[in-house]
């Protein structure tokens, strides 16, 4: 029988890119974690780690990092295998009573990868989620433009949705954010035209990072693929009740 404290897995949102958009809670948990895990690309670069670098620089002694190299592929079999392996590794740490933080860009449960760890671990281990600023809210702040007013409806879709789903959502909701808009940009521009909402749209990429771009005139945007971290914000120009 172990007398160790039970371990705890924290899914911690680090926000869209600006290190100052971490919450106080995220900073505290990152500093005090025994292990900090994050997704990384083949070259070992991790956007989430980059955003959290200031908190990590003040980490407690002995903290160890677990970079999780994720293959960039549409084949979910590979990704599932990686999640299976890291879940086993994290479970081992949790059984030893460790505090494990998994860093997530934006918010952990909003189109985030943390869902895949949670489903593998939450039935057997204590898990706690710390929400983060999502790119949706960061985009509205960057544009200084209200996302939704009181009687408006709001929807989020992604470039993974069909042409028909995109057009229908654009027609039915006052405000729409289209995330993961890189590969699907030509289809999204066509859907904006089909729904008659090209002039309601703004385009942003790499929000809150050094290479942030904002295009208020979507007509200026070439109908070609863009970066993964890009999105469209679509809002009504003419808003009724202004108060």
Confirm or reject binding of residue 158 to a second copy (CB under 8 A): yes
Confirm or reject binding of residue 154 to a second copy (CB under 8 A): yes
Confirm or reject binding of residue 138 to a second copy (CB under 8 A): yes
Residue 36 tokens, joined = 């900090």
Considering the complex, state which of residue 21 and residue 103 has its C-beta at the smaller distance from a second copy. Answer: 21
Considering the complex, state which of residue 159 and residue 226 has its C-beta at the smaller distance from a second copy. Answer: 159
What is residue 235's three-state secondary structure?
A: coil
Q: Which of 37, 93, 140, 201 binds a second copy (CB under 8 A)?
A: 140
Query: Dihedral sign, CA of 31, 35, 39, 43?
Result: positive
* Length of the chain, in residues: 243
Confirm or reject binding of residue 59 to a second copy (CB under 8 A): no
Q: Scan residues 191-230 and list those touching a second copy (CB under 8 A).
A: none
Residue 12 tokens, joined = 């911690």
Confirm or reject binding of residue 124 to a second copy (CB under 8 A): no
Considering the complex, state which of residue 84 and residue 219 has its C-beta at the smaller distance from a second copy. Answer: 84
Place of tokens 């990704």: 79
Confirm or reject binding of residue 85 to a second copy (CB under 8 A): no
Considering the complex, state which of residue 208 and residue 226 has its C-beta at the smaller distance from a second copy. Answer: 208
Residues 6+ apart with CB under 8 A from 176: 154, 155, 156, 157, 169, 170, 197, 232, 234
Q: Scan residues 61-80 and list those touching a second copy (CB under 8 A).
A: 76-77, 79-80
Looking only at the bridges linking them, the beta strands covering 201-205 and 127-130 are unpaired
Confirm or reject binding of residue 122 to a second copy (CB under 8 A): yes
Rounded to whole angstroms, the Cα distance separating 77 from 74 reads: 9
Looking only at the bridges linking them, the beta strands covering 175-179 and 230-234 are antiparallel
Count of positions on this chain that bind a second copy (CB under 8 A): 66
Rounded to whole angstroms, the Cα distance separating 217 from 224 reads: 16
Residues 6+ apart with CB under 8 A from 30: 12, 22, 36, 52, 55, 56, 59, 101, 103
Confirm or reject binding of residue 91 to a second copy (CB under 8 A): no
Q: Which of 134, 188, 189, 229 binds a second copy (CB under 8 A)?
A: 134
Rounded to whole angstroms, the Cα distance separating 172 from 154 reads: 9
Confirm or reject binding of residue 7 to a second copy (CB under 8 A): no
Confirm or reject binding of residue 240 to a second copy (CB under 8 A): no
Which positions touch a second copy (CB under 8 A)? 13, 15, 18-25, 27-28, 76-77, 79-80, 83, 107-112, 114-116, 118-119, 122, 127-134, 137-138, 140-142, 144-151, 153-158, 160-161, 165, 168-169, 172-173, 241-243
């Amino acid at each position: 029988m172990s007398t160790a404290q039970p371990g705890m897995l924290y899914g911690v949102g680090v926000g869209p890119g600006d290190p100052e958009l971490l919450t106080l809670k995220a900073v505290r948990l990152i500093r005090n974690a025994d292990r900090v895990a994050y997704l990384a690309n083949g070259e070992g670069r991790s956007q989430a780690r980059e955003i959290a670098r200031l908190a990590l620089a003040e980490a407690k002694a002995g903290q160890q990092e677990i970079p999780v190299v994720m293959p960039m592929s549409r084949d979910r079999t590979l990704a599932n295998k990686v999640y299976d392996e890291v879940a086993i590794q994290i479970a081992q740490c949790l059984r030893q009573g460790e505090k494990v933080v998994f860093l997530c860009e934006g918010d952990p449960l909003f189109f985030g990868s943390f869902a895949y760890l949670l489903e593998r671990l939450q039935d057997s281990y204590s898990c706690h989620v710390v929400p983060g600023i999502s790119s949706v809210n960061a985009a509205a702040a960057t544009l200084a433009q209200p996302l939704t007013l009181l009687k408006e409806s709001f929807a989020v879709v992604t470039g993974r949705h069909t042409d028909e789903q995109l057009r229908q959502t654009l027609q039915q909701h006052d405000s729409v954010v289209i995330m993961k808009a890189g590969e699907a940009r030509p289809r999204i521009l066509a859907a904006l035209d089909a729904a008659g909402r090209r002039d309601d749209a703004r385009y942003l990429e790499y929000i809150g990072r050094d290479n942030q771009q904002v295009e208020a005139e979507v007509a200026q945007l070439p109908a070609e693929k863009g970066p993964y971290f890009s999105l469209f914000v679509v809002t009504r120009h003419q808003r009724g009740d202004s108060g």
